[in-house]
Chains A and B, each alone.
Chain A
Amino acid sequence: MITAGAGTAALPEGGRVDFARLRRERRARLLEAMAEAGLDVLVLGRPANITYASGARQLWTAGARPFGPGAVVMAGSGRVHLLSTWDDGVPDEIGHDQLFGLSWNPARIAANLAAIPGLASAGRIGTDGWSPGAGSLITSVAPGAEVVAAGPALAGARGTKTVDELACLRTAAAAAEAGMAALVEALRPGVTERQLMGVHAAALARLGLPTPPIEAAACLMPAVGGGPGGPGRLRRLVSDRAAQAGQMVALTAGAIYAGYEATLSRTWLVGAGGGGGGGAGGADGAGGRVASAAQKEVAGRARSLRDARVAACRPGAVSDLLGPGERAGSEPVAWGVGLGMEPPLLGAGLGAGVQLPAGMTMAVQAWAAAPGSEAGGALEADVVLVGADGPELLTRFGSCPALSSDVVH
């Protein structure tokens, strides 16, 4: 039962998400995918895959870490063995005998792996990464094994979402919206992009969530200052430049709940007010600043493009998603989202042959550029469920009133 809406607190009747069922269903999907791929063992190093297999609450760290065995899934026993020196954050169904401790010594790591029943005699091992060092470790433990890519099996299992995964995604979406509200509230002349990043991260932490999935909270327009960014291009790295009244800013908010991610982007006019009713320049909701025609035009173009891409999130081919504007950006226009960013990535030359299944969740973004104008560009992004009957928006946040073409001024 999910009747209490999105929230992170445990509830006496069992809460909003049935985490035991969530883990059980994920594990079943994973074992099924392993069986289909003929894998005896999965050796997982990517934190999201480790979460998917084990349900362990892991410590968030930034960046892509080197591949190494963090979880080992055995098809025969259906058991998940986990790299964890302690049982804090480890679900009950993973017993102490399924934990192996942190080690810096390759010989010890090999011995820990060799102690997992059935691993040494495995015939086919799938891994989600590979490096010369970790690779030789695995082959030394299971000398007779064929080591293959686990990516397709993992993508198959993770691609469509269970009801509890969707509940987690909805909670992440609500939290991401809270992050966006905090950004809009803090947006006033003088605030820097970097300060906005701190405002966003703090808003998520106050909700009890870890560091946001991407620290790209704000990009003031136009992108001035030369360099490869150049005017009319979205910058993903915040700077110390301060917002000026009348300037547009691309705001991106994101949240992780129980490992599940939602992000959204909105373009706002500095000094226009909105969102939480704050912002400098007036209390009348539209604020004191009036957007230029160029700003409204590009903001409207981004919204239309976003709407079109959202509408294209239907089961089947992705040709509509890869339509107009696909080649303009350096980033993909859409990607899978669940336990963080997931395949498929669409755009930037990727995903041409992809078929979207119903039940997949996608992050969809639209960047519209206005090179050479003071408007710079506009960014809109949302998270969408590919529903059997059509797309369902999971993120919900209004547009900047001052940039909406229907505002009379």
Chain B
Amino acid sequence: MTKSIDGAVLPDVPDLARMRTERHARLQAQMSSSGVDALLLLGTNPVAYATGAEAPGADSGRAGLLRPVALVVGGDPQAHLFTPYPDGAPAELAEDHLHPAIYPELPDGAAAAAAAVSELVPSGSRLAVDELPHPLAAALGSYEITGASGLLGPARLVKTPDELACIRTAQHINELAMARVQPQLRPGVRQNDLSAWFLEAIFDLGATGNGIDPIWQVMPDRLADGPWTTHGDVAFPTASTDRILRAGDVVWVDTGIDWHGYASDFGRTWLVDPLAAPTGRQAGQFRRWDEVVAAVLDILKPGVTALELGRAAIEANGGTRPWVEHFYLAHGLGTESAEMPMIGTDLGDAFDDRLVMAPGMVLVLEPVIWDEGEGGYRSEDIFAVTDDGWVALSDHPYDPYGSRSW
């Protein structure tokens, strides 16, 4: 197997400027093919994709009111950036493309926001938006508004080699942090203590942000002993508290950090005991998880459909779907912590049958092995589809369960 993406090798260190240029070209190509004159983006992750602008990690309320905004004009070599955080603008961004912040969420900010847009995009133009807060909608009445998801999705679906290197770096930081956290796991430690060690470690190791409050969910043996769910399947992920961990607890770990706009996704199952060894049933759950991943990797290459990958996973799990109903066997990863391609969602088989793997796609495989009465096992690993197979972007042990086979 080669490790190339469209003939290009995965760099050890990403070239962030080159990456931004290539992403911009993809957006421009999508805009051109969908007849969009300009693209106005407000969402934290779409703006990061379109501009490469960095912003401090922030709670959703603050991120909604003090937001960087991107305006991509058709044919323009760079995106315009309106930001309250000018120190986060990419170094190569031209001075006339960097603007003061606009406040499209606020009734007293929307008019100025619309005026800023109208200086760069003639009225009557076809303007694609990801979000359109009511105040801004009222102020942008002179444009033909359309949704941006149809062009953002295809642009982001396939990653450049630099993007893959960013994901690998983010994941490496996350894994190194976990190597510091797991030895602390013992009876009496609280979920929030683990979060404290984790957060201190990720920033010490170079993370640019934390993406999600760390999850250290104690799993029940039987579904009836866990939270009630709308579908009767496993509840996961639930938010951490100051819950005190006890000997024998089985903890499903799930965290995600940010590194220059790219997300990591770390998932493992841990046992709370300094001398923990899995029971025979638990060891069997891990082996089953490993077999499911191996079966998927065995056929993963360009041209295979999401439906085929899902079926291989089900077959390796003895005919039972090895993922929880509200999620998926696998999801993509990039500037979003979960994005397309997704395999096995409730979008259904017809959707999965049309979703064909291509070089540069990312899959976070996260099979869940549930063994009613004996709990379950869940871990996540990240893979990129290469020109003739796959390459792993994650690399972390499965202690205390054993080793992977692939």
* B59 CB to nearest chain A CB (Å): 4
* B304 CB to nearest chain A CB (Å): 21
Residues from chain B with Cβ under 8 Å of A67 in the complex: 131
Number of contact residues on B: which range applies? 35 or more
Residues from chain B with Cβ under 8 Å of A48 in the complex: 60-61
Residues of B within 8 A of A (CB): 42-45, 54-67, 84-89, 91, 98, 100-101, 103, 105-109, 112, 129-135, 137, 145-149, 190, 192-193, 195-197, 199-204, 206-207, 209-213, 215, 226-231, 235, 237-239, 241-242, 258, 326, 328, 342, 345-348
A132 partner, pick from B59, B63, B109, B147, beta carbons under 8 A: B147
Number of contact residues on A: which range applies? 35 or more
Contact: A89 with B239, CB < 8 Å? yes
Residue of A nearest to B60 (CB): A47
Contact: A61 with B43, CB < 8 Å? no
Could you show 26 A-B contacts with beta carbons less than 8 Å apart?
Answer: A58-B239, A60-B239, A61-B212, A62-B63, A84-B230, A86-B226, A88-B235, A88-B238, A88-B239, A89-B238, A101-B231, A129-B134, A152-B107, A194-B206, A201-B203, A203-B196, A206-B193, A206-B196, A207-B192, A228-B87, A228-B98, A341-B66, A350-B103, A350-B106, A351-B108, A352-B108
Contact: B100 with A102, CB < 8 Å? no
CA A62 to CA B112, docked complex, whole Å: 27
* A213 CB to nearest chain B CB (Å): 4
Q: Known contacts A61-B213, A202-B200, A206-B196; is A85 also within 8 Å of B131 by CB?
A: no
Residue of A nearest to B351 (CB): A105
* A94 CB to nearest chain B CB (Å): 12
* CB of A21 closer than 8 Å to a CB of B: no
Q: Known contacts A64-B60, A206-B192, A215-B56; is A198 also within 8 Å of B43 by CB?
A: no
Residues from chain A with Cβ under 8 Å of B58 in the complex: 62-63, 213-215
Residues from chain B with Cβ under 8 Å of A210 in the complex: 213, 239
Contact: B199 with A214, CB < 8 Å? no
Residues from chain B with Cβ under 8 Å of A335 in the complex: 65
* CB of A304 closer than 8 Å to a CB of B: no
Contact: B346 with A236, CB < 8 Å? no
- Given A131-B132, A201-B196, A330-B86, 4 additional A-B pairs, CB 8 A: A62-B59, A206-B196, A215-B210, A350-B103
Contact: B238 with A86, CB < 8 Å? yes
Residues from chain A with Cβ under 8 Å of B145 in the complex: 132
CA A233 to CA B131, docked complex, whole Å: 31
Contact: B213 with A60, CB < 8 Å? yes
* B35 CB to nearest chain A CB (Å): 15
Residue of B nearest to A147 (CB): B134
Residue of A64, A233, A343 with most chain B CB atoms under a 10 A cut-off: A64
Contact: A85 with B106, CB < 8 Å? no
